């Protein structure tokens, strides 16, 4: 059982084997100009991505759905989703971004008003500043608690699922509050509602997620199968990405500031955090020259792997220079800190400008 609300670090290969997720590398060669997260193996698995690929190649309609849960500050781990959305926007996707305020309320005890404010300040502004134009007609951002179409659909889904099934998937117990029990049904409705007649009918739909969210995907696919006669839903496809580790080497978490670079950190804070992140360097310079470093154990390298858009060659050069002992951690950290500082100086200017637009996004009526 995978618990989508826990904070364990997951073993990716085991998950693929246990839950029938296919390796993404098997399909990578068929994608024209794949995203860097695909090329670098960060997106490592998929279910039924073939359908999405066919829609992209044939210029047909397809949807991408990915929610944001406004329960804390947005960090660079979350940025990965925005980077993917920008790519899918370029491929012609309809994009749906539910703000999971109902989940925040039931699982984190955050009220709807606070969720809305957090979503605008922390997430929507950052999405825009990262380069996703949320004012476009093909992009639909909404609060779960205000989307009656989604809520009605969740109620219809509820008839097709019983408590024993949810308990087996999520580990709910007799003391789990019923709002929390209802959340997976709302999420299934988030994922499938782009296929309703109101949005143009059935179409391939992709949900890019971390593997911890796979229980929601499996449940949603089951519900879609059970309602074939009524809706003719196409089973949603999914991709699975690895999580960037925290700066200290464990899990990156909004509730542990030392583990994460937040998108609202100042450039100075970010520079400091990079320079103090865990590396894969050796005890002494002499040892590092002789044995080389271990980029696989290094969070500084991971920052480049996940966030340095563009050329893979530059990344490869850092990897090789580290392994063969010609690059020392001091110089490397300083280069990465400079890179991040420049990125965030630019980003924070854009973010300031985006705040006004962010406030108007949730007032945009799509339903
Ligand atoms: Fe990490 Fe760079 Fe040190 Fe290698 S040289 S271990 S990549 S900080």
At 334-345, the pLDDT tens digits run 999 999 999 999
Specify the CATH number of the domain 257-353: 1.10.240.10
The ligand 1 site (C-beta within 6 Å) comprises 279-281, 293, 295, 298, 300-301, 318, 322, 327, 329, 332-333
> Cα 179 from chain centroid?
24
Ligand 1, closest atom to CA 301? 7
The residues near 236 (Cβ < 8 Å, ≥ 6 apart) are 48, 65, 191, 192, 205, 206, 207, 217, 220, 221, 224
Look at the domain 12-246 and name its fold. Rossmann fold (3.40.50)
Domain extents in the chain: 12-246, 257-353
Number of H helices, E strands in the chain: 18, 7
End-to-end CA distance of the chain: 36
Q: How confident is the model at residue 1 (pLDDT cuts 50, 70, 90)?
A: low
Question: 323 CA distance to ligand 1 centroid (A)?
Answer: 8
Q: Kindly list the distances between the CA atom of residue 58 and the CA atoms of 92, 201, 238, in Å, as whole numbers in the listed order.
A: 11, 18, 19
Output b/e per residue, 352-361; b: 16+ Cβ within 10 A: eebeeebeeb
Question: 256 CA distance to ligand 1 centroid (A)?
Answer: 24
Q: How confident is the model at residue 20 (pLDDT cuts 50, 70, 90)?
A: confident
pTM of the predicted model as reported, rounded to 2 decimal places: 0.91
Question: 258 CA distance to ligand 1 centroid (A)?
Answer: 20
What distance in Å separates the CA atoms of residue 34 and residue 87, rounded to the nearest whole number? 9
Structure token pair of residue 143? 């609060």
Question: What is the average pLDDT across 123-147?
Answer: 94
Question: 190 CA distance to ligand 1 centroid (A)?
Answer: 41
Question: Which backbone phi and psi does 349 adopt, to 5 degrees?
Answer: -65, -45
Atom 5 of ligand 1, residue of closest alpha carbon: 329
What distance in Å separates the CA atoms of residue 178 and residue 270, rounded to the nearest whole number? 40
- Across the beta sheet with 237-241, the strand order is 22-23, 43-47, 237-241, 205-209, 63-65, 94-99, 139-143
Mean of pLDDT over the chain = 90
Question: 81 CA distance to ligand 1 centroid (A)?
Answer: 26
- Answer yes or no: is pLDDT of 18 > 80: no
Atom 3 of ligand 1, residue of closest alpha carbon: 329
pLDDT tens digits for range 180-221: 889 999 999 999 999 999 999 999 999 999 888 899 999 999
């Amino acid at each position: 059982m995978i618990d989508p609300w826990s904070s364990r670090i997951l073993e990716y290969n085991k998950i693929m084997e246990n839950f029938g997720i296919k390796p993404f590398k098997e399909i990578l060669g068929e994608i024209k100009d794949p995203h860097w997260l695909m090329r670098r193996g960060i997106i490592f698995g998929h279910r039924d991505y073939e359908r999405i690929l066919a829609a992209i190649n044939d210029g047909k309609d397809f949807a991408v759905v990915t929610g944001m849960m406004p329960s804390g500050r947005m960090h660079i781990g979350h940025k990965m989703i925005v980077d993917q959305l920008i790519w899918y926007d370029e491929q012609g996707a309809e994009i749906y971004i539910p703000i999971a305020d109902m989940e925040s309320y039931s699982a984190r005890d955050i009220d709807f008003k606070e969720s809305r404010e957090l979503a605008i300040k922390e997430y929507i502004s950052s999405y825009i500043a990262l380069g996703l134009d949320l004012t476009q007609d093909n992009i639909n951002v909404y609060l779960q608690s205000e989307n009656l179409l989604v809520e009605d659909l969740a109620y219809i889904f509820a008839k097709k699922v019983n408590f024993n099934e949810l308990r087996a998937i999520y580990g709910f117990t007799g003391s789990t509050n019923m709002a929390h029990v209802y959340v997976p049904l709302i999420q299934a409705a988030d994922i499938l509602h782009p296929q309703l007649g109101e949005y143009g009918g059935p179409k391939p739909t992709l949900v890019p997620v971390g593997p911890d969210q796979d229980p929601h995907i499996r449940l949603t696919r089951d519900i879609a199968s059970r309602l074939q006669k009524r809706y003719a839903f196409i089973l949603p496809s999914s991709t699975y990405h690895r999580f960037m580790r925290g700066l200290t080497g464990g899990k990156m978490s909004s509730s542990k500031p030392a583990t994460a670079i937040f998108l609202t950190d100042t450039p100075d804070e970010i520079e400091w955090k990079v320079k103090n992140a865990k590396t894969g360097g050796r005890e002494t310079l002499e040892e590092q020259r002789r044995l080389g470093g271990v980029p696989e154990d290094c969070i500084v390298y991971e920052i480049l792997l996940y966030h340095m858009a563009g050329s893979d060659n530059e990344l490869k050069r850092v990897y090789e220079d580290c392994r063969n002992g010609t690059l020392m951690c001091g110089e490397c950290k300083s280069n990465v800190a400079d890179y991040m500082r420049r990125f965030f100086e630019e980003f924070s200017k854009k973010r300031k400008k985006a705040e006004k637009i962010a406030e108007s996004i949730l007032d945009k009526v799509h339903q």
